[in-house]
Amino acid sequence: MSEEHFKNVISHAKEYGFVFPSSEIYDGLAAVYDYGQNGVELKKNIREYWWKSMVQLHENIVGIDASIFMAPKVWKASGHIDGFSDPMIDNKDSKKRYRADVLIEDYQEKYRIKNQKEITKAKKRFGDDFDEAQFVATNPNIARNNAKIDEIDARLKDGLESGELHKVKELIEELGIACPVSGSKNWTDVRQFNLMYSTQMSATDGESQIYLRPETAQGIFVNYLNVQKTGRMRLPFGIAQTGKAFRNEIVARQFIMRMKEFEQMEMQFFVAPGEEQKWYDYWKEHRLKWHTNLGTNPAKYRYHDHVKMAHYANNAVDIEYDFPFGFKEVEGIHSRTDFDLKQHEEFTGKKLQYFDNERNESYVPYVVETSIGLDRMFLVLMSNALEEEKLEDGQTRTLLRLPAALAPYQCAILPLTKKDGLPEMARKIMKSLSLDFNCYYEEKDSIGKRYRRQDAIGTPFCITIDHDSLTNESVTVRYRDTMEQKRVKVSELESIISQEVSMKKLLQGLM
């Protein structure tokens, strides 16, 4: 996939009512976006797929909906006031600001691409006999590239963890990394920028500074005891939450990939100390399955172990997706130890412990977190689904091959003409199908044009009502992906559509 494809995704998202720049009539607001009439449906369906897979399919996971505003001390305890920052570097010629670690990671990506090319070449040469694992383990070029990647990883980690940011700048200079805009290597020093937004809250005793939450996780931690006690939860158990988070991303770019206001879907899984590795492995595997279960090519996903561990984690991996601009994080799985609950114990003076009957002792649970950005997932689906398909007659059609259960509309109801009682019959069908599905009604323009508009927003089924329908209670069903058309009875519609679009079918893939 190319940068060209990415541009198409952005313009398609706007043209078809998925994503608009925020406050566009005021020339927009950088890195803030609004979801339009189709985008909001797709987003809601992704959220529902996540929620059901977590809460409905796991009897030991429950949900909450905590506030965006929290007591300011929460962020002191969590480490965000002191430590939630990104290492930034400016190019003196273009005046552009970059995340230093991202510049270095992009540089490393070149070695990964080189490796991939070696593999592709060898695959061609050896054909069916090709043993990829063995080739990767023994090829000297790949070994050299991997050694280079590891060496850079180690130096980046050292610079970031020691806080000696001059080492990170030296690494950028040594690698000869140039500014993608100016092409120059004239860099400032690397500095840390805090990512939290703050505002004022009035109280009887004056004003206090409070923060817009930069992650939803802390809302879960501060409610750990409430949920555990009122829900009589036994370990291991999880608390899930979806909601807005805010980060003052200095380098906001790549559309909805990196926004200042975005939505997270997080789940904190509380386990007994010593059990965290087992559950980390479980969630790592389970979450990847959630992604590939959507029918995306598994080769487009990979795990990426963290080099720079967050201050709270003892194990962390990203699930990355091959976006049009390369592999980037969609989701993080973090083993957060007992860090957060212990910090909240210390800052509140309250016990946040669990009494384990079997071990006959109280302890602070360990936590394994899964954290996915809803907007990034939206981008995964849009960039994976958008396709210019060449048809047999030489024409092309724009198609959004979204997973059927997540499409904004499940079916479109299209009377062939605006007269002869066809709209009335169509409305009747619409009224009954609307109880189960989100239906789109349209009677304007030729049927061919209407089909194309539905293809472009990903509607899996078009139902056409024609003159024969009036006499024999049958309609034509057209399938989005194959364009196949079938004559079916009106009474069969509900079962035909629900077989394809049901969330149930999608969830079954996870069982």
- Please state whether the peptide bond connecting residue 298 to the residue before it is cis, i.e. omega within 30 degrees of 0: no
Which pair of tokens denotes residue 65? Answer: 């909906």
- As a whole number of angstroms, the distance between CA 405 and CA 68 comes to 30
The pattern of x and - marking residues 257 through 276 that bind ligand ATP according to CB under 6 A reads: -xx--x-x------------
Whole-number minimum distance, CB 317 to ligand ATP, in Å? 11
Q: C-beta of 30: minimal distance to ligand ATP in Å?
A: 12
Question: Counting contacts by CB under 6 A, is residue 160 touching ligand ATP?
Answer: no
Determine which residue in the list 249, 322, 338, 455 makes contact with ligand ATP, applying CB under 6 A: 249
Question: Which is nearer to ligand ATP, 228 or 370 (by Cβ)?
Answer: 370
Please identify which residue in 155, 213, 247, 401 interacts with ligand ATP, judged by CB under 6 A: 247
Does position 287 bind ligand ATP by CB under 6 A?
Answer: no
The span of 36-44, 143-151, 254-262, 473-481 binding ligand ATP (CB under 6 A) equals 254-262
Of 332 and 423, the one with the shorter C-beta distance to ligand ATP is 332
Of 74 and 475, the one with the shorter C-beta distance to ligand ATP is: 74
- Report in angstroms how near the CB of residue 152 gets to ligand ATP at its nearest: 17
Site for ligand ATP in 367-396 (CB under 6 A): 371-373, 375-376
The only residue of 329, 338, 340, 466 in contact with ligand ATP, by rule CB under 6 A: 329
Kindly give, in sequence order, each residue whose CB lies less than 8 Å from that of residue 34, ignoring residues fewer than 6 positions away.
19, 20, 21, 22
CA–CA gap between residue 333 and residue 322 (Å, rounded): 18
Asked if 332 touches ligand ATP (CB under 6 A), the answer is yes
Q: Distances in Å between the alpha carbon of 61 and those of 231, 287, 510? A: 10, 15, 16
As measured in angstroms, the least distance from the Cβ of 510 to ligand ATP is 20
The one-letter code for the residue type at 310 is: A
CB of 245 to ligand ATP, least distance (A): 7
Nearer to ligand ATP, 172 or 414 (CB): 172
Residue 480 Cβ vs ligand ATP, minimum distance, rounded to whole Å: 28
Distant-in-sequence, close-in-space partners of 490: CB < 8 Å, separation ≥ 6: 429, 469, 473, 474, 475
Local structure of 495: helix, strand or coil: helix
- What's the DSSP call for residue 397? E
For the CB of residue 183, give the shortest distance to ligand ATP in the complex, in Å: 25
Task: Closer to ligand ATP by CB, 255 or 437: give it.
Answer: 255
Closest separation in Å from C-beta 216 to ligand ATP:
9
* Closer CB to ligand ATP, 84 or 440, in the complex: 84
Q: Which residues, in sequence order, are CB contacts of 166 under 8 Å at separation 6+?
A: 159, 189, 190
336 scored as a contact of ligand ATP (CB under 6 A): no
Among 322, 331, 455, 466, binds ligand ATP (CB under 6 A): 331
Strands (E), 187-325: 191-194, 198-203, 206-211, 237-246, 261-271, 301-305, 315-323
CA pair distance 505, 511, nearest whole angstrom: 10
Nearest approach in angstroms of CB 287 to ligand ATP is: 11
Contacts with ligand ATP: how many residues (CB under 6 A)?
Answer: 16
| Of residues 34 and 494, the one with the C-beta less far from ligand ATP | 34
The residue type of 366 is Y
Q: Which is nearer to ligand ATP, 262 or 461 (CB)?
A: 262
- Residue nearer to ligand ATP on the CB measure, 219 or 415: 219
Left if phi > 0, otherwise alpha if psi is -120 to 50, otherwise beta: which for 164?
beta
Q: How far apart are CA 369 and CA 186, in angstroms?
A: 40
Nearer to ligand ATP, 378 or 451 (CB): 378
Residue 100 Cβ, how far from ligand ATP at the closest point, in Å?
13
Considering beta carbons, is residue 323 or 451 the nearer one to ligand ATP? 323
Interacting residues of 448 by C-beta distance below 8 A, sequence separation 6+: none
Site for ligand ATP contains 455 (CB under 6 A): no
Minimum distance between the CB of residue 265 and ligand ATP, rounded to whole angstroms? 9
Contact of 336 with 364, CB cutoff 8 Å = no
Tokens at residue 501, please? 């679009």
Which stretch of DSSP H or E encloses residue 23? none
Phi, psi angles (nearest 5°) of residue 143: -60, -40
- The answer to whether residue 291 forms part of the interface with ligand ATP (CB under 6 A) is no
How many CA atoms lie less than 13 Å away from 216 in the CB half-sphere? 26
Burial (CB count within 10 angstroms: exposed 0-12, middle 13-18, buried 19+), residue 122: middle
CB of 327 to ligand ATP, least distance (A): 12
User: Which residue's C-beta sits nearest to ligand ATP?
Assistant: 373
Enumerate residues 194-223 that contact ligand ATP by CB under 6 A: 215
Print burial letters for 329-362: b (CB count within 10 Å at least 16), e (below 16).
Answer: bbbbbbbbbbbbbebbbeeeeeebbbeeeeeeee
Q: Which of 258, 245, 193, 259 is nearest to 214 (CA)?
A: 245
The nearest distance, CB 376 to ligand ATP, in angstroms, is 4
Residues that bind ligand ATP in the complex, under the rule CB under 6 A: 215, 247, 249, 258-259, 262, 264, 329-332, 371-373, 375-376
